Structure 1
Amino acid sequence: MRLAKYLAHCGVASRRASEELVRAGRVTIAGEVVRDPARAVTDGEEVRVDGRLVRPEPLEVWALNKPPGVLSTVRDTHGRKTVVELVPSRRRLYPVGRLDADSTGLLLLTNDGELAELVMHPRYGVERVYHVRVEPPRFGQRLVERLQRGVELEDGPARALRARAIGRGRLEITMGEGRKREVRRMLDALGYRVVELERVRIGPLTLQSLGLAPGESRRLGTREIDALRRAALRPRRRAGR
């Protein structure tokens, strides 16, 4: 197994993040620094990250209905509550993507770096659906069309796969990627302030089907995890269409 994939299976980080750890010289095999993420790891070899021995562990995937005021990170230097604290697992889990502290809704946490990569990377196009309330509350079809046509942001263009009005001052926006504060920045660029933002779906998983109240979490079953993988690996995703 390649080193980056091995680290992802150990729950260290996603495969892409594991590659960066290796290139930074933070990984050793049998006491020697290795900088090639493609280096093969064989049975019995001792792999360490920053001096800590790592081994593959049972993989877990959890769904959380994130409440407001909780940070989408593993730990916080200021002692603020993090999403990891809301999941009753002994594994070293990390959030798959992020939701801002003020945002709420569906968030996945896992120690499966390979699955995290499938869900997060834009090339797989796993859909994320958000319910958003904006100010001012009056908008027309022009806003919906503009979101679908695309908005130029400082880190490149951003476009909703779909958008529609679902009530006064409320929008449902479907995205195919999860860049930092992307929905908020798109609407801000168009003159609208996001008052509430809730993620209600990731791929085939919805808050409604999971039955999670704010602050609740549960471990996903095999069928749900397989459905996530299929959503990322279907041919039309790989073809970039």
Structure 2
Amino acid sequence: MEEKRINKAISDTGYCSRRVADGLIDSGRVTVNGQVAVMGLKVTAEDEIRVDGNLISHKPPTVYIALNKPRGIECTTNRKTRNNIVDFVKHKERIFPVGRLDKDSEGLILLTNDGDIVNKILRARNNHEKEYIVRVNRPINAEFIRRMGQGVPILGTVTRKSVVEKLDDYTFRIILTQGLNRQIRRMCEYLGYTVVALKRIRIMNIHLGDLKLGTYRNLSPLELSELNLLLTDSKKTIE
């Protein structure tokens, strides 16, 4: 019978991501067959896994959804946080966001209970594209577009080269392949601009399209097929 490390087994149930599972294990909240689990423990489908005494061994149907997140919603699974994304979506399955979209931004974010696909997408070195439409507080010039595209020093590093296109005097499109904390806002601030509106419109092959603000949809079989193809060469986190 196949054995898995305990963190992956928890993630595969859709209860949480593997990283969150590590924290649960480390804090002694996970038991296997009545015994407190330790990091690295291997389990099988016959083992009884509980978190805080609640059985989680059952694997629910896999869920993949695209949400057009409004401003003001926090991309956290912490139910104690006001306006958290889990309570906003109110999905019947236990799902979690793939990455983050800061509270002041809106647009596309994916949610799922598939821990493996989360780990693949979040590995920045896989160069997965994310596309944004950004509006700033003053007119954009050619030097701004050039410097945004070449890379800007923030957070102790220089951002990767990106594709940047001016849409009008105050608005530009940018395609990133990394996800530093509040990256676009920090890049603009370094160049003397302030972001007044930021919308993510694409993650890899998944487009926001005409999805209404505050609503979500299931990913189509074609989108999932294309997504998995794009992730073929992406390595999972170490088990």
Q: TM-score surpassing 0.5?
A: yes
Is 1:30 the counterpart of 2:30? The answer is: no
Q: Check whether the contact 1:86–1:217 (CA below 8 A) recurs between aligned residues.
A: no
Corresponding residue to 1:69 among 57, 62, 72: 72
Matches within 5 A, 1:32-47: 32-37=35-40, 39-47=41-49
- For 2:164 and 2:140, locate their aligned partners in 1 and report how far apart those are by CA, in whole Å: 16
- For 1:20 and 1:232, locate their aligned partners in 2 and report how far apart those are by CA, in whole Å: 26
Matching residue's letter, 1:117: N
* Distance change (3 Å), C-alpha of 1:145 and 1:138: closer
- For 2:24 and 2:159, locate their aligned partners in 1 and report how far apart those are by CA, in whole Å: 29
- For 1:196 and 1:32, locate their aligned partners in 2 and report how far apart those are by CA, in whole Å: 50
Q: Check whether the contact 1:7–1:15 (CA below 8 A) recurs between aligned residues.
A: yes
Render the CA deviation track for 1:55-105: whole Å, top value 9, x for unaligned: 222110111111222222234536x33333443521011111121222111
In the other structure, the counterpart of 1:165 is 166
In the other structure, the counterpart of 1:92 is 94
- For 2:165 and 2:130, locate their aligned partners in 1 and report how far apart those are by CA, in whole Å: 14
Render the CA deviation track for 1:133-181: whole Å, top value 9, x for unaligned: 11222322x2223223222222533224321212111111111122321
Unaligned runs of 5+ in 1: none
Matches within 5 A, 1:97-112: 97-112=99-114
Corresponding residue to 1:12 among 10, 15, 34: 15
- For 1:75 and 1:2, locate their aligned partners in 2 and report how far apart those are by CA, in whole Å: 25
* Distance change (3 Å), C-alpha of 1:234 and 1:166: farther
Render the CA deviation track for 1:199-238: whole Å, top value 9, x for unaligned: 0000101111xx3111111112333223222223347x99
Of the structure 1 ranges 83-92 and 198-207, higher mean CA displacement relative to structure 2 is found in 83-92
Matches within 5 A, 1:84-233: 84-87=86-89, 89-140=91-142, 142-154=143-155, 156-208=157-209, 211-233=210-232
Q: CA deviation at 1:42?
A: 1.1
- For 2:25 and 2:208, locate their aligned partners in 1 and report how far apart those are by CA, in whole Å: 36
2:43 partner SS: coil
Matching residue's letter, 1:128: K
- For 2:222 and 2:22, locate their aligned partners in 1 and report how far apart those are by CA, in whole Å: 29
Q: CA deviation at 1:111?
A: 1.0
Q: Check whether the contact 1:127–1:176 (CA below 8 A) recurs between aligned residues.
A: yes
Q: Check whether the contact 1:99–1:107 (CA below 8 A) recurs between aligned residues.
A: yes
Identity across the alignment (%): 35
Taking structure 1 as the reference length, what is the TM-score of the superposition? 0.85
Q: Check whether the contact 1:147–1:159 (CA below 8 A) recurs between aligned residues.
A: no
In the other structure, the counterpart of 2:55 is 53
- For 2:79 and 2:15, locate their aligned partners in 1 and report how far apart those are by CA, in whole Å: 18
Runs ≥4 residues deviating over 4 A = none
* Distance change (3 Å), C-alpha of 1:155 and 1:97: farther
Taking structure 2 as the reference length, what is the TM-score of the superposition? 0.86
Matching residue's letter, 1:207: L
Number of matched residues? 232
- For 1:184 and 1:98, locate their aligned partners in 2 and report how far apart those are by CA, in whole Å: 14
